Amino acid sequence: MTIKYLAQDQLAAFLAHLAERARVVAPISEDGVVLFRNWEPGRQVDLEVLLAKQAPKEFMFPQTEEYLKFSYRMDTPVVDESAPPAGASDDGQVEAALPHEVIEVQAENAAPAQIIFGLRPCDARGFVQMDQVFGGYGGFYFDPLYNAKREATTLLAVTCRDPRSTCFCTAIGGCPAGHEGVDALFTQVDGGFTVEPLTEKGEAATDFAALRDASEGEAAEAAEVKVQATTRVDVPFEIDGVRDNLKANFEGTSWQDLCLRCISCGTCTYVCPSCYCFSVNDSLVETKGERYRVWDNCFNPTYTLETSGHNPREKKVNRFRNRFSHKFWYYQDKYDSLLCSGCGRCIMHCPTRIDIREVLRVMGAPAGVPEAAGAASNSAELPATDGKEA
């Protein structure tokens, strides 16, 4: 497909054009905090900050999502005293019609057209990884809510010009200019963007008068930006063998060292582009209620709490081990995909900076090695600290 070009000063017009037919979502800075928000004309898209605090997962898989509304009604048959009792038997006995409860249920599933602009290729890849679990892969459950939104959403990703030190997409098969899940890829070049439509949805979204064909120079610049960005992404661990090694190290003592500073909150999972766990709740006020799902996470101590009172992952270390094993071992076994796209948000936003790269370096290494590496989890790779005295 031909590469197009959009001038920077035409971006607002382009988004306004998109907003005429769909909800447009983009990274927007509010008091210095960049989050994906509804874009409206006049709002500034922030592409300077590489990663919005949260991945745009919320727009495909809302944190709180209603399944259905329900209400209870008590049906009490009206008895007409004057009329001869219907259904009276010969001996005059009346079979009483019992009041009974009626439950009315109304399913909810709204999926208006939406376009997410300014997400990064790792964010888009997160959706592709999540598609497996919600899309019925391997004969498992097909989730109509997620898939309706997925169907109605167009992903316009922007190449990561300046990857962060915490990025590691290339280590696990991704790329700062990756195409996986992306409908059209925008790359920032001098004065604007090159635009590569990659799917029909992407073609449709970028069919706009202000987009012209890119010149050879612009296309070459974009290609160079991509190469440069890709070479600058760190490869902090070797992915080959991680799955098998996690399995072999399941009982490894280094898990305990690695999780010491973890506070067992859910930040890593809620900023993650591919963590998808949720719980289902009923909320009932008098006779009306709703059933909804809400994000949950494997660090929540009640996440695996069973009705009996038994909790198979009662200890922090068990919950900690689960997150990494799930992403790189269990999920792969069940859905033939990793569950991590290497965005590094979990590292950046963890209150104690638990480092998934370090965890995989230690626990994803061949068994036997972790003993030595485990001690390193506390002490190795510490840069010199001279001159930092307070």
Partner 1 sequence: MSRQDEIRELARVALSTGRVDYFIGWREAYNPSEVVPAFVDEPDSVDQLVWNDLCAHNLTTFLKRKMNDRPNAKVGICVKGCDSRTLVALMQENLVDRERLYVVGVPCDGLVDRRKLEKEFSDEIIDITTSNGTVSVTTHQGLTRDFPKADYLLAACGWCRYKNAVYADDVAGPPAEEADRHAKPVWTDVEAFEALSDGERDAMLEEIFATCIRCFACINVCPVCYCWDQCVNRSRRPELVSQKVDAKGNLVFQMVHMLHVAGRCPSCGACDRACPVEIPLSLLHRKMNKEIYDMFEFEPGAKLDEMPVFQCFKIEDAFGD
**Contact footprint for partner 1 (CB under 8 A):** 31-33, 35, 48-50, 53-54, 63-64, 162, 164-166, 257, 260-261, 263-267, 269-271, 279, 281-284, 292, 294-295, 297, 300-302, 305, 311, 315-317, 347, 349, 351-353, 355, 357-358, 375, 378-379, 381-383, 385, 387-390
Nearer to partner 1, 175 or 233 (CB): 233
Residue 186 CB, nearest distance to partner 1 (Å)? 18
- Identify the DSSP state of 14: H
Sheet holding 212-213, edge to edge: 33-38, 23-30, 114-119, 153-158, 184-189, 192-197, 4-7, 212-213
Residues making up the chain, counted from first to last: 390
Nearer to partner 1, 50 or 156 (CB): 50
The C-alpha atoms of residue 260 and residue 349 are separated, in whole angstroms, by 17
Residue 26 CB, nearest distance to partner 1 (Å)? 16
The C-alpha atoms of residue 343 and residue 35 are separated, in whole angstroms, by 15
Nearer to partner 1, 102 or 384 (CB): 384
> 3 near 194, Cβ under 8 Å?
yes
Residue 219 CB, nearest distance to partner 1 (Å)? 25
| H-run or E-run covering 106 | strand 100-107
The C-alpha atoms of residue 143 and residue 388 are separated, in whole angstroms, by 52
- Compute φ and ψ for 4, nearest 5 degrees: -110, 175
Residue 345 CB, nearest distance to partner 1 (Å)? 9
Nearer to partner 1, 110 or 260 (CB): 260
Q: How many CA atoms lie within 13 A of 78 on its CB side?
A: 3
Nearer to partner 1, 50 or 198 (CB): 50
Nearer to partner 1, 93 or 283 (CB): 283
**Alpha helical stretches, state H, 286-366:** 316-325, 331-335, 345-349, 356-363
Residue 37 CB, nearest distance to partner 1 (Å)? 10
Exposed, middle or buried by CB within 10 Å (0-12, 13-18, 19+), for 138?
exposed
Residue 295 CB, nearest distance to partner 1 (Å)? 8
Residue 223 CB, nearest distance to partner 1 (Å)? 21
Nearer to partner 1, 264 or 337 (CB): 264
User: Which residues contact residue 86 at a Cβ distance below 8 angstroms, ignoring those fewer than 6 apart?
Assistant: none
DSSP string, 117-152: EEE-HHHHHHHHHHHHHHBTGGG--B-HHHHHHHHT
Nearer to partner 1, 97 or 380 (CB): 380
The CA-atom distances, in angstroms, between 223 and each of 37, 167, 230 are 30, 20, 11
> 36 near 56, Cβ under 8 Å?
yes
Say which amino acid occupies 20.
Answer: E
Residue 255 CB, nearest distance to partner 1 (Å)? 11
Nearer to partner 1, 201 or 321 (CB): 321
Nearer to partner 1, 297 or 341 (CB): 297
Residue 243 CB, nearest distance to partner 1 (Å)? 24
Residue 39 CB, nearest distance to partner 1 (Å)? 17
Our measurement of the distance from residue 177's CA atom to the centroid of its chain's CA atoms, rounded to an integer in Å, reads: 19
Please count the other Cβ atoms lying within 10 Å of the Cβ belonging to residue 41.
10
- The tokens for 284 are 């009932």
- The residues pairing with 278 across neighbouring beta strands, listed in sequence order, are 295
